[in-house]
């Protein structure tokens, strides 16, 4: 189940970037579950990864390779996270890189591996290795849709975005795919995301942009508050357009805004496809003294099982929202001045239920598939918005049956 219509993506090929997909039968026979992506020589790559201390073997290898070389090839498997697998997991990740490097004719350190799926099970490495030549043979600049399918796990639909951006001298392309449905929490979420552009970026600027844009997109979503072991977001700049991007320029601002918008589109698609989700919820906190207290309030609401289950039931039990704001940990919070809205309906003012509030109005908002919760702390000028889902019976069913 997903919230909202699934809109087909018309992917624009990114010059200098190709994608190939195959089926290795890692978990399910015949399912697309192996993807290789290759950028042309001279491209730059950078990434951000999970903050989980038990990060998966491929995350360790990605960090090592990015620190020591300039990678050009990505390899992704689904169905198995290769996490919690100790020395064998590291060996399997490195073996995968070596096999892909042989196919691509590059050093092993120029390959970045990624895995997603069940934690704690050894990667079926022989099946993966056997399917690599097929995936590499399928490399195509038009391989985005197949790759979007090949990186899915419990997702019910693909997640992609693609735009053309008119800069001062040239038009450039940004295209991206992502996966994620459950175990979604910032820093980062159980998600993989790959975004490519044909603009030319320095390694430093590539890292700066992927860090900044991920913070405003993938680090602003949550489904269940659980942080995965495998999260990764990679930005690839092929330079094939010949357009150099200089920090602080007008073109830089245009490109950064377009990249943020594309990243947010992918991030919100993950939330809309959250495991068992029936509602898409925006939690906006304004009037904060600083960004962190805005985020603290937003996540207190978004992570509350009581709030999430009330929204699933379309129950305007606004007291649960009020309670979450109160325990968010904002110092010296003046509850007599803040306000809470559900959509455009004022719920809380002057320290309690707003005199104008009527249950019918709250019910009308709760009956919608897309719901906004807005809190004005009235303490300053900072604001933050995050996106989340309700918590349904299907969420429990999906995760209870995950390994079966």
Catalytic residue ranges: 190
Phi, psi angles (nearest 5°) of residue 373: -115, 125
Distance (Å, whole) CA 9 – CA 144: 10
Q: Residue 86: count other Cβ atoms within 10 Å of its Cβ.
A: 9
CB under 8 Å to 8, separation ≥6 — which residues?
none
Task: Classify residue 404 by burial, with Cβ atoms within 10 Å: 0-12, 13-18, 19+.
Answer: exposed
Rg (CA), the chain: 22
Q: What is the chain's percent helix, strand, coil content, to nearest 5?
A: 35, 25, 40
CB 393 within 8 A of CB 401: no
CB under 8 Å to 370, separation ≥6 — which residues?
3, 4, 279, 280, 281, 282
Q: Residue 78: which of 14, 4, 27 has the closest Cα?
A: 27
Residue labelled with tokens 């800069």: 167
Q: Two tokens at 53?
A: 């201390």
Phi, psi angles (nearest 5°) of residue 374: -125, 125
CB under 8 Å to 319, separation ≥6 — which residues?
none
CB under 8 Å to 37, separation ≥6 — which residues?
17, 18, 19, 20, 73, 74, 75, 76, 147, 194, 196, 236
Core vs surface per residue 75-84: b (16+ CB within 10 A) or e: bbbbbbbbbe
Residue labelled with tokens 């320290």: 351
Handedness of CA 265, 267, 273, 279 (dihedral sign): negative
């Amino acid at each position: 189940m997903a919230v909202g219509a699934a809109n087909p993506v018309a992917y624009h090929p990114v010059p200098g970037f190709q994608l190939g997909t195959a089926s290795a039968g890692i978990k399910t026979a015949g399912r697309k579950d192996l993807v290789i992506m290759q950028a042309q020589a001279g491209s730059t790559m950078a990434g951000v990864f999970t903050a989980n201390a038990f990060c998966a073997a491929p995350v360790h290898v990605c960090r090592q390779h990015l620190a020591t070389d300039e990678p050009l090839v990505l390899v992704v498997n689904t169905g198995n996270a290769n996490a919690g697998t100790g020395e064998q997991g590291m060996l399997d990740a490195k073996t995968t890189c070596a096999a892909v490097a042989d196919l691509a004719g590059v050093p092993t350190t120029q390959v970045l591996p990624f895995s997603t799926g069940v934690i704690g099970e050894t990667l079926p490495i022989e099946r993966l290795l056997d399917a690599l030549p097929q995936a590499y043979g399928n490399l195509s600049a038009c391989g985005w849709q197949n790759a979007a399918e090949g990186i899915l796990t419990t997702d019910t639909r693909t997640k992609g975005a693609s735009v053309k951006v008119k800069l001062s001298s040239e038009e450039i392309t940004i295209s991206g795919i992502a996966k994620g449905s459950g175990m979604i929490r910032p820093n980062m979420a159980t998600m993989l995301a790959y975004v490519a552009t044909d603009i030319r970026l320095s390694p430093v600027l590539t890292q700066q942009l992927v860090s900044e844009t991920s913070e405003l997109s993938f680090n602003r979503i949550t489904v269940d508050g659980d942080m995965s072991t495998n999260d990764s977001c990679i930005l690839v700049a092929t330079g094939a357009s010949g357009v150099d991007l200089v920090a602080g320029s007008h073109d830089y601002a245009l490109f950064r805004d377009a990249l943020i918008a594309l990243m947010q589109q992918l991030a919100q698609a993950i939330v809309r496809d959250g495991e068992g989700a029936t509602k898409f919820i925006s939690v906006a906190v304004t009037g904060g003294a600083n960004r962190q207290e805005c985020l603290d309030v937003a996540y207190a609401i978004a992570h509350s099982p009581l709030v999430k289950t009330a929204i699933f039931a379309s129950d305007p039990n606004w007291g649960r929202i009020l309670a979450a704001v109160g325990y968010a940990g904002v110092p010296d919070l003046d509850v007599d001045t803040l306000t809470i809205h559900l959509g455009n309906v004022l719920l809380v003012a002057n320290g309690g239920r707003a005199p104008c509030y009527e249950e019918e109005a709250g019910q009308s908002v709760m009956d919608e598939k897309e719901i906004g919760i807005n809190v004005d702390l009235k303490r300053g000028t900072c604001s933050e918005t995050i996106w989340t889902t309700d918590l349904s019976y299907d969420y429990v069913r999906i995760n209870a049956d995950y390994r079966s």
